[in-house]
Amino acid sequence: MDKEIISKSNEETKQIAKSFAKTLKVGDIVLLNGTLGAGKTVFVKGVVEYFSGGKEIATSPTFVIVNEYKTNPPIYHFDLYRIKSIDELFAIGVEEYLYSNGICFIEWPERAEELFSENVIRVKIDKINDDERLIKISR
């Protein structure tokens, strides 16, 4: 299933993500692609809001590599932008996250593409202009 949606604001991106969240299940791995500032973390914010009923607020894990959200199911949000080697991911136990009872979101997945099987969901967010984004979802 491939889907393309145009978002005209961050709030609309979060609403699209909440709708997408309804299709997710434990064990899903979502690879997020897009340039800096494209809206990858905004998208995850919408998913986290959906699963937490608004009780958890997602933030960018750029400096900590992974944020864990106590949602039901748990959400693990990775940002691989600063990763220099796959060994760094193994040191933080990436496999335990990927094969856990949660849902994983991976920003900058191309830095560790060999870790991800073909059974992933891809979300690509492209900037059209300052406000609009093209969101492509591929299963």
pLDDT tens across 22-76, in order? 999 999 999 999 999 999 999 999 999 999 999 999 998 888 899 999 999 999 9
Per-residue confidence (pLDDT) for residue 61, from 0 to 100:
87
Per-residue confidence (pLDDT) for residue 1, from 0 to 100:
65
Asked if the 2-138 domain carries CATH number 3.40.50.300, the reply is yes
Q: In angstroms, rounded to a whole number, what is the distance separating the alpha carbons of residues 46 and 13?
A: 7
Please name the residue ranges forming H helices in 53-116: 86-91, 94-98
Residue with tokens 């093209």: 134
The residue ranges of every structural domain in the chain are 2-138
* Listed residue (135, 110, 100, 102) closest to 18, CA to CA: 135
Q: Report the pLDDT averaged over residues 5-13.
A: 97
pLDDT in tens, 92-104: 899 999 989 999 9
Residues 6+ apart with CB under 8 A from 89: 65, 80, 83, 112, 115
